Amino acid sequence: MRVDPTDLPARFRVPEQGPDARAAKRIDVEIDRVSVVMYREVGGIPVRINVPLSDYRGIAIRFRVPEEGTEPEIVLELMHSDPALAVPLMIATDMDEIISDWRIWGRELGLPLLTVDEAGTTSVVAGRFGGVSTGRPARRRYYALIADRRPRFLVRRKVGLRRPPEICVGEELIARA
């Protein structure tokens, strides 16, 4: 099973999974750059679940041994904190193919790249926040150092001399136009 990461929006059918896999008859999934929509049939009732892409934790790689005597499979999935909402994107045995798709999915959806070990511990390989890679930002502007002190247009102004105010005592001031 493989979903092409460059052909979004994509619609595909995934195998039954999660804690309520016995109750679900089919799971159709639509993925675009904004949300994931799942169409299920639970207890004979069609259900549509719309999950924003920002609710997903990232694109995860995990190893799975389906049965004794078979070679392990590598699963690439859109990981959610609720396992019933996780969406498998690719199941294969070739590591190079999985790694290339993993990076493309992370770039296309703007999600972090994750790995999941046998104990279920998740670790971030490359972090992202929206469409931006996380990390230490570079200083880009000269005025960034003094941005908290004065507005930028006031930095160019020179501070004037403070003179005492002129006070007229005992004289009459007449304004003529």
Distance CA 20, CA 82 (A): 12
Q: Could you give the CA distance from residue 177 to residue 175 in angstroms, rounded to a whole number? A: 7
List the pLDDT tens digit at each of the 177 positions of the chain: 778 877 878 888 887 655 554 544 568 889 988 889 988 887 788 889 899 988 888 889 988 877 777 778 888 899 888 888 888 888 888 888 888 888 888 888 888 888 888 877 887 876 555 555 555 556 666 555 655 666 667 667 666 777 777 777 776 767 766
What confidence score (pLDDT) does residue 99 get?
A: 85
Side chain identity, residue 38: M
DSSP single-letter state for residue 116? E
The DSSP 8-state label assigned to residue 84 in this structure reads: G
One-letter amino acid at 59 equals: I
Supply the pLDDT for residue 120: 79
The Cα-based distances of 7 to 33, 97, 101 in angstroms read 11, 17, 12
Residue that is written with structure tokens 């930002």 in the block: 137
CB count, 10 Å around CB of 89? 26
**The pair of three-digit structure tokens given for residue 155, joined into one six-digit string:** 């930095």
pLDDT for 24: 47
Residues in contact with 83: Cβ distance below 8 Å, sequence separation at least 6, in sequence order: 17, 18, 19
Predicted local confidence at residue 121, as pLDDT: 81
DSSP-assigned states of every residue in 117-153: -TT--EEEEE-EETTEE-SPPPP--GGGGGTTTS-HH
Q: Report the pLDDT value the prediction gives residue 123, as an integer from 0 to 100.
A: 79
Cα separations in angstroms, 91 against 47, 51, 98, 149 = 25, 22, 8, 54
pTM above 0.85, yes or no: no
Q: Which CATH class is domain 10-133?
A: mainly beta
